C-alpha cells in the first residue's frame, strides 16, 4: 500500500450523491478492500426508496418471497411507526446471495452511501462468503432460484386449494419455524429445475412412506410381547418441521412441500441468527478501516470524515444499563470492539494478553482476524476472544435472576475473579439453545391413538410461556392430525404439560 | 465486479398482496373498528383513509418462548458501583425471566395493533355486502359535460390547429395535378429539341422550341408551392362524458321534540348514506332541508346545530324537496335519494298531504329511506308511511332507530344486497 500513499485529489466535496460518484467511491473501496484481502461475492448495489425499504423489512430482506398475511402485518406496523416518527429505517439491508444484494436508501448522504457500501458490500459480503456457518448452511448461488420455486409453488397451491387452506398450513409452519432447523446435517443445494423434479418424486414417495404409521399387519415378534416397547421416532428429533413433513399421517403431498419450503427458509436464515455480533462487528471493523484508508490517501475530505465518524460512533454506542436508552448489549458495539481488540492484541499485546491469548498475541492481525471470522459463531467467538481488557472497558457484570430468590445477585464483575464467568455467561447468552426453548419430538403412540408427544427440556428451570405455547400446540395438532402432548421436563420429571386432543378442540 | 442499479422507479407496493391478505384475514375486526370510527366524522369530509386499531393479541404469531421463572444470568454493561455478591432488590413488575432493562424485548408491548387503511379500503369494509337499490336506472345520463376529441380534418379552422402533414400532402397533390399537362408538353418539346440536327435549316425551329420550353418552365414555376385551398385543420368534436351523479336530500325534523342526541343519531345515519353514495357515484351533492312547521334549505352546520321550537308539519319539507328537485335536479340527469329522519311526530291533519306528496316524489327517486328515531313504537308519521311502503316496496323503506348501536345495523338492513 505504501506505493499508493501519494496524496490524491478528493473524489468529491459535496454531500449529495450521484451515480457517477457512487461508482467512483465503489471502485476505490473495492480496490482498498482487495488490498486488505477481503474475499467477496460480486456486488449488486440497489438504490431504493423508503417504501421499498419497508418492503424489504417485511420480507426479511428476501428479494422474492411467497405471499402471506404476516408479511403484510409486518409491513403495516413498520409503515405505521415510520410515519409517526417512532422509528427510522435502516441505511441499508444486505441479502446473502451471489451476487450479494445490498439495498441502499436514497435519502442517505454521499458519506453514508460510501459508509454502507464499505459496510455491507464488502464487510457483510465477505462474512457471508467465508464464515463457516454460512458456508455450511446456505447456498448463495441457488437461494434466489429456490425462492422463485417456493413462491410459484405456493401460488399454485393457492390456486388449487384456496388461499385459506394454504394460509392455515403456513400459519402452523411459521409458528414452528424456529424448530425447523437442522443443526448437524449438511443440506444438499438444489437448483430450480432439480428442485421441481425432486418435488414431484417426493410427493409420490412420501405419501407411500407415511403408511408406516398406518401399518396394520402385525409384525411377528411384536405378537409374543417379548419385544421391548420401541419408541417412534427411535431418537428424539429436534427438527419438528422435518419430522412432521416426513411423518405426519394425514397431510396431503402439497402440504408436506409447504412445510419443506418454510423449513428450508428457516434453515437459510439460521446462520444469521447465530452470527449477529460477529457479522456486524466484522462489517463495522471494515468500514472503519476502509474509510480511514480512503482518508489517508486523500480521497475524502475532513468534512467527510467528521460526518462518517459521527455516524460510526452513533452506531457503536453502548448505553450503560442505567440509561433510559439501554436495551440490552448492542451487537454492533460488542462485535466491533472485539474485532478492534483482536487487532490490538496482535499489534501491541500486553502481558495480560500474552497470558490469555498466548497463540495469537503478536501474530499478524489480518490472518488472525480472518481466522476468527471464518471459523466461529457468536457463542464460540465470545468464548474464545473476549478479553479482560474489553470486559473492563465495557464494565460488564453478571446479574443472576433466580425466581426462587427475592433479589437479584451480582455474581461477577470486571475483576480477576469475574473475567472467566462473564465471558462464559455472555457467550451462553448468544447460544440459541439457551435463548429458545429446547423442544424435541419424543414419541408417537404408534399402537394406540397416534398421539404425538413432545418434550421441552427445561434449561435452568425456565418454563414455557403458557399462552403462546398453547397456540403453537394447536397449530401442531393441525399438522399432525391427532392428539398432541407437550411435556416440560426437568431432571426426567414432567413438570407440566399441554395437551391438545381432538375432543378438547371440538369443545373449544 | 459490481452492478449499481436504480430500483427507485420499480413498481410500488410490492407488499400490496401481503397487505390485502392481512386486511382480508382481519376483515371482521376491521369492520368493527370502522364502525367505531364513524363517531365524530363530518358528513362531506373527504376521506384520507382511516386509522384502524385492532387488538394486538389477535394478530400475534405464536412461537414457543420462555415464560417467567427459572434461573437466568444476564451480562450487563456499565457497572459503576456493584461488586461481586451485591444483592439488588427485584425491580417491581420485572420479576420475570428478563433481567434489568431487557423487558422491552419481551413483554406485552402495545395492546393495540394500529395501522392505516386508505379511503377505498375503508369504504369497502364499511359497505361490504351492501348495495344501492335501483342503481342502474339513470346511471349514465349526465350530458352537459363534454370533452374534446380529435375528429379527422377540416378545411377551415383556427391557425393553431393547422395540420402540417395534411396541408403539405394536399399541396403536393395540387401541384402534381396542375403541372401534369405542362410537364408532358415540356418533355415532348425537349425530346424534339434533342432530335433536331445542328444544320442551318433548323436554327429557326430550334429558337422557337427553346422559347416554348422557357415559357412552359416559367408557367410551371408559377404554380404556387402552397395555396389557401391546401390548408387542412385538425378537427375537434365535443363528446359528451357519460357519468353518474347523485343528489341526496336530507330531511330532518328540528321541532322542539328533537333533542341534540336524536339529531346526532340522525347525523350518523346521514354520514353513512353520504359515504355510501359517494362510493357509487362520481359526484354526489347533498341538500339539507330542515323543518318544523315550515321547511328551509340550510347548510350542514345549521342543519345539525341550530335549535328551533314549535310544531311539526312534515309536508312542508316534502314540498320544499319537490320544488328544489324541479328547479335544480332533473330526474333524467340525477340519481335522487331521499333520507328523512324524524322522531315520528306530525300534525295529525298533515297526513293526507304527506301521502299525496310522497306519492309524487317516489317515482322520481331512486330510493327513499325514512328512519324514525324514537323509543316508542308507531308514531303518527310511521302510520302515515305504512301504506306508502306497501305501495312502493322497491323504492321506499323505513326503519326504527333507538340508539347509536342501531344505526349501522339499520343502515345495513336498508341497503342489504338483494339476493337475486
User: What secondary structure does DSSP assign to A419-464, as a single string?
Assistant: HHHHHHHHHHTT-HHHHS-EEEEEEE-TTTT--EEEEEE-GGGPPB
Interchain pair B18, A411: CB under 8 A:
no
CA distances to A468, B3, B108, B159 from A475, rounded to whole Å, are: 11, 43, 22, 75
Residues in chain A: 508
Nearest by CB to A460, from B5, B71, B113: name it: B71
What is the model's pTM? 0.73
In this structure, of A206-215, A263-272, A336-345, the range with the lowest mean pLDDT score is: A206-215
Please name the member of A48, A408, A436 whose beta carbon is closest to the beta carbon of B7.
A48
A493-500 and A484-490: which strand pairing? antiparallel
A89 near B CB under 8 A: no
CA distances for A310 relative to A25, A323, A339, angstroms: 19, 20, 20
Looking at residue A364, its pLDDT comes to: 94
* Residue B415 backbone dihedrals phi, psi, to 5 degrees: -110, 25
Tell me the average pLDDT across A290-297.
94
Phi and psi angles of residue A103, each rounded to the nearest 5 degrees, phi first:
-100, 125
Q: What is the largest CA-CA distance in chain A?
A: 90
Domain boundaries, chain A: 9-131+275-310, 316-433
SS3 at position A94: strand
Assess whether pLDDT exceeds 90 at residue A190.
Answer: no
Q: Which of chain B's residues have a Cβ under 8 Å away from the Cβ of A407?
A: 87-90
pLDDT at A293: 95
> Within an 8 Å CB–CB cutoff, is residue A4 touching chain B?
no
Residue A328 contacts B where some CB pair is shorter than 8 Å: yes
C-alpha cell at B141: 345520463
* Cβ-defined contact of B64 to A472 (cutoff 8 Å): yes
Contact A396 B101 (CB under 8 A): no
A72 with B20: Cβ contact below 8 A? yes
d(CA B31, CA B225): 73
- Residues paired with residue B253 on neighbouring β-strands, in sequence order: B291
- The DSSP annotation for B194-255 comes to HHS-SSSTTHHHHHHHHHHHHHHHHHHHHS-SS-GGG--EEEEEEEE----EEEEEEEEE-S
With contacts defined as CB-CB under 8 Å, which chain B residues touch A412? 84
pLDDT at A3 (0 to 100): 46
Q: Do A76 and B22 touch (CB under 8 A)?
A: yes
Distance between CA atoms of residues A310 and A255, nearest Å: 51
Q: What pLDDT was estimated at residue B242?
A: 65
What is A41-75 written as a DSSP string? Answer: PPEEEEEE-HHHHHHHHHTTT-SS----HHHHHHH
Does A424 reach chain B within 8 Å, measured CB to CB? no
Question: A166-170, A401-405, B85-89, B254-258: which has the highest mean pLDDT?
Answer: A166-170
Residues 373-412 of A with CB under 8 A from B: 394-404, 406-412
Q: What are phi and psi of B144, to 5 degrees?
A: -85, 0
Q: Which of B18, B70, B104 sits opposite A72 (nearest CB)?
A: B18
Residue B311 pLDDT: 78
Contact B87, B56 (CB under 8 A): no
Q: Does B86 contact A at CB distance below 8 Å?
A: yes
* Weakly modelled stretches of chain B, pLDDT under 70: 1, 12-13, 38-49, 92-110, 129, 132-145, 241-243, 377, 418-420
pLDDT digits (tens, 9 = 90+) for A106-136: 988 999 999 999 999 999 999 999 999 999 8
Q: What local confidence, expressed as pLDDT, does residue A263 receive?
A: 93
Query: Among candidates A467, A226, A424, which has minimal Cα distance to B62?
Result: A467
Check residue A260 and give its pLDDT.
Answer: 94
Given a cut of 50, is residue A441 above it in pLDDT? yes
| A 444-473: CB under 8 A from B | 456, 458-469, 471-472
User: Which of the pair, B50 or A256, is modelled with greater confidence?
Assistant: A256
Question: How far apart are alpha carbons A62 and A42 in whole angstroms?
Answer: 18
Q: Looking at the partner chain, which of A171, A395, A462 has a beta carbon nearest the beta carbon of B79?
A: A395
User: Strands B112-117, B50-55: parallel, antiparallel or unpaired by DSSP?
Assistant: antiparallel
**pLDDT for res B107:** 34
Interface mutation vs chain A, best among B18, B98, B107, most A CBs within 10 Å: B18
**A290 pLDDT above the threshold of 80:** yes
A272 touches chain B (CB under 8 A): no
Q: Which residues of A touch B86 (CB under 8 A)?
A: 409-410
Shortest distance, CA A457 to any CA of chain B (angstroms): 12
**Do B251 and B340 form a contact (C-beta atoms < 8 A)?**
yes
Mean of all residue pLDDT scores within chain A? 88
What is the distance between the terminal CA atoms of chain B, rounded to a whole angstrom? 64
The alpha carbon of residue B52 is apart from the nearest alpha carbon of chain A, in Å, by 11
Q: How far is CA A96 from CA A41, A91, A127, A134, in A?
A: 9, 17, 10, 9
**Sheet of strand A493-500: strand arrangement:** A438-444, A452-457, A484-490, A493-500
- Per the listing, cell 369504504 goes with B123
- Residue A343 predicted with pLDDT over 90: yes
Q: Could you tell me which chain A residue has the CA closest to the CA of B94? A: A401
Which residue of A52, A106, A399 is in closest CB contact with B74? A399
Q: What DSSP element (H or E) covers B54?
A: strand B50-55
Q: Do B84 and A412 touch (CB under 8 A)?
A: yes
pLDDT score of B109: 43
Q: What was the ipTM of the complex prediction?
A: 0.83
Q: Cβ of A319 and B78 within 8 Å?
A: yes
Amino acid at each position: 500500500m505504501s506505493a499508493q500513499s501519494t496524496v490524491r485529489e478528493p473524489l468529491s466535496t459535496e454531500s449529495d450523491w450521484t451515480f457517477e460518484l457512487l461508482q467512483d467511491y465503489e471502485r476505490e473501496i473495492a480496490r482498498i478492500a482487495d488490498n486488505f484481502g477481503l474475499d467477496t461475492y460480486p456486488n449488486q448495489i440497489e438504490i431504493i426508496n423508503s417504501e421499498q425499504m419497508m418492503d424489504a423489512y417485511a420480507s426479511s430482506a428476501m428479494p422474492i418471497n411467497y405471499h402471506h398475511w404476516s408479511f403484510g402485518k409486518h409491513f403495516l406496523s413498520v409503515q405505521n411507526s415510520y410515519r409517526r416518527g417512532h422509528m427510522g429505517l435502516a441505511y441499508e439491508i444486505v441479502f446473502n446471495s451471489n451476487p450479494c444484494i445490498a439495498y441502499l436508501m436514497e435519502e442517505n448522504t454521499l458519506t453514508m452511501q460510501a459508509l454502507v457500501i464499505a459496510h455491507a458490500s464488502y464487510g457483510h459480503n465477505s462474512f457471508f462468503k467465508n464464515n463457516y456457518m454460512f458456508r455450511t448452511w446456505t447456498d448463495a448461488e441457488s437461494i434466489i432460484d429456490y425462492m422463485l420455486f417456493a413462491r410459484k409453488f405456493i401460488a399454485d397451491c393457492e390456486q388449487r386449494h384456496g388461499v385459506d387452506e394454504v394460509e392455515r398450513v403456513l400459519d402452523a409452519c411459521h409458528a414452528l419455524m424456529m424448530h425447523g432447523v437442522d443443526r448437524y446435517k449438511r443440506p444438499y443445494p438444489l437448483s430450480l429445475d432439480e428442485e421441481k423434479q425432486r418435488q414431484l418424486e417426493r410427493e409420490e414417495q412420501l405419501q407411500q412412506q407415511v403408511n408406516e404409521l398406518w401399518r396394520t399387519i402385525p409384525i411377528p415378534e411384536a405378537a409374543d410381547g417379548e419385544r421391548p416397547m420401541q419408541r417412534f421416532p427411535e431418537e428424539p428429533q429436534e427438527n419438528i418441521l422435518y419430522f412432521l413433513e416426513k411423518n405426519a399421517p394425514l397431510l396431503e403431498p402439497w402440504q408436506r412441500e409447504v412445510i419443506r419450503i418454510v423449513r428450508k427458509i428457516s434453515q437459510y436464515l439460521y446462520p444469521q441468527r447465530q452470527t449477529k455480533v460477529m457479522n456486524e462487528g466484522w462489517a463495522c471493523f471494515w468500514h472503519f478501516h476502509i474509510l480511514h484508508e480512503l482518508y489517508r490517501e486523500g480521497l475524502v475530505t475532513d468534512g467527510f470524515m467528521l460526518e462518517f465518524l459521527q455516524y460510526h460512533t452513533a452506531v457503536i454506542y453502548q448505553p450503560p444499563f442505567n440509561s433510559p436508552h439501554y436495551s440490552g448489549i448492542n451487537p454492533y458495539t460488542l462485535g466491533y470492539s472485539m474485532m478492534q481488540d483482536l487487532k490490538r492484541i496482535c499489534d501491541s499485546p500486553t502481558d495480560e494478553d500474552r497470558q490469555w491469548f498466548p497463540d495469537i498475541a503478536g501474530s499478524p492481525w489480518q490472518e488472525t482476524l480472518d481466522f476468527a471470522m471464518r471459523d466461529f459463531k457468536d457463542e464460540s467467538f465470545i468464548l474464545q476472544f473476549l478479553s479482560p481488557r474489553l470486559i473492563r472497558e465495557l464494565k460488564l457484570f453478571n446479574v443472576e435472576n433466580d425466581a426462587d430468590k427475592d433479589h437479584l445477585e451480582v455474581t461477577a464483575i470486571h475483576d480477576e475473579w469475574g473475567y472467566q464467568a462473564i465471558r462464559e455467561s455472555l457467550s451462553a447468552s448468544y447460544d440459541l439453545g439457551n435463548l429458545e426453548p429446547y423442544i424435541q419430538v419424543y414419541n408417537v403412540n404408534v399402537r394406540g391413538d397416534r398421539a404425538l408427544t413432545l418434550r421441552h427440556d427445561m434449561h435452568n428451570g425456565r418454563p414455557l410461556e403458557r399462552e403462546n405455547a398453547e397456540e403453537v400446540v394447536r397449530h401442531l395438532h393441525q399438522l399432525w392430525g391427532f392428539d398432541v402432548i407437550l411435556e416440560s421436563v426437568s431432571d426426567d420429571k414432567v413438570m407440566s404439560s399441554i395437551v391438545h386432543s381432538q375432543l378438547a378442540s371440538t369443545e373449544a | 465486479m459490481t452492478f449499481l442499479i436504480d430500483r427507485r422507479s420499480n413498481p410500488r407496493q410490492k407488499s400490496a398482496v401481503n397487505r390485502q391478505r392481512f386486511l382480508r384475514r382481519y376483515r371482521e375486526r376491521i369492520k368493527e373498528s370502522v364502525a367505531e370510527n364513524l363517531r365524530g366524522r363530518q358528513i362531506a369530509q373527504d376521506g384520507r383513509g382511516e386509522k384502524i386499531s385492532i387488538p394486538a393479541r389477535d394478530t400475534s404469531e405464536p412461537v414457543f418462548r420462555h415464560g417467567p421463572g427459572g434461573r437466568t444470568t444476564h451480562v450487563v454493561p456499565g457497572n459503576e458501583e456493584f461488586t461481586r455478591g451485591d444483592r439488588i432488590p427485584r425491580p417491581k413488575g420485572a420479576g420475570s425471566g428478563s433481567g434489568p432493562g431487557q423487558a422491552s424485548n419481551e413483554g406485552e408491548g402495545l395492546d393495540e395493533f394500529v395501522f392505516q387503511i386508505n379511503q377505498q379500503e375503508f369504504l369497502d369494509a364499511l359497505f361490504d355486502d351492501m348495495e344501492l337499490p335501483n342503481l342502474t336506472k339513470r346511471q349514465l345520463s349526465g350530458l352537459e359535460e363534454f370533452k374534446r376529441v380529435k375528429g379527422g380534418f377540416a378545411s377551415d379552422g383556427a391557425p393553431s390547429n393547422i395540420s402540417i402533414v395534411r396541408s403539405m400532402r394536399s399541396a403536393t397533390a395540387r401541384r402534381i395535378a396542375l403541372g401534369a399537362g405542362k410537364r408532358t408538353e415540356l418533355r415532348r418539346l425537349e425530346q424534339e429539341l434533342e432530335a433536331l440536327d445542328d444544320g442551318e435549316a433548323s436554327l429557326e425551329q430550334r429558337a422557337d422550341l427553346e422559347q416554348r420550353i422557357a415559357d412552359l418552365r416559367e408557367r410551371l414555376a408559377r404554380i404556387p408551392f402552397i395555396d389557401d385551398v391546401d390548408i387542412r385543420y385538425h378537427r375537434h368534436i365535443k363528446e359528451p362524458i357519460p357519468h353518474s351523479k347523485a343528489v341526496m336530500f336530507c330531511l330532518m325534523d328540528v321541532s322542539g321534540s328533537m333533542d341534540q342526541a336524536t339529531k346526532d343519531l340522525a347525523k350518523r345515519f346521514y354520514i353513512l348514506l353520504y359515504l355510501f353514495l359517494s362510493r357509487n357515484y362520481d359526484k354526489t351533492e347533498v341538500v339539507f332541508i330542515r323543518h318544523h312547521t315550515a321547511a328551509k334549505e340550510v347548510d350542514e352546520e345549521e342543519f345539525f346545530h341550530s335549535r328551533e321550537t314549535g310544531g311539526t308539519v312534515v309536508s312542508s319539507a316534502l314540498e320544499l324537496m319537490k320544488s328544489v328537485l324541479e328547479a335544480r335536479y332533473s330526474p333524467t340527469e340525477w340519481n335522487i335519494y331521499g333520507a328523512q329522519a324524524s322522531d315520528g311526530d306530525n300534525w295529525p291533519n298533515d297526513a293526507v298531504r304527506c301521502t299525496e306528496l310522497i306519492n309524487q316524489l317516489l317515482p322520481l327517486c331512486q330510493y327513499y329511506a325514512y328512519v324514525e328515531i324514537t323509543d316508542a313504537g308507531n308514531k303518527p308519521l310511521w302510520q302515515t308511511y305504512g301504506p306508502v311502503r306497501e305501495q312502493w316496496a322497491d323504492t321506499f323503506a323505513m326503519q326504527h332507530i333507538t340508539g347509536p348501536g342501531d344505526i349501522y345495523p339499520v343502515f345495513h338492513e336498508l341497503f342489504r344486497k338483494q339476493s337475486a
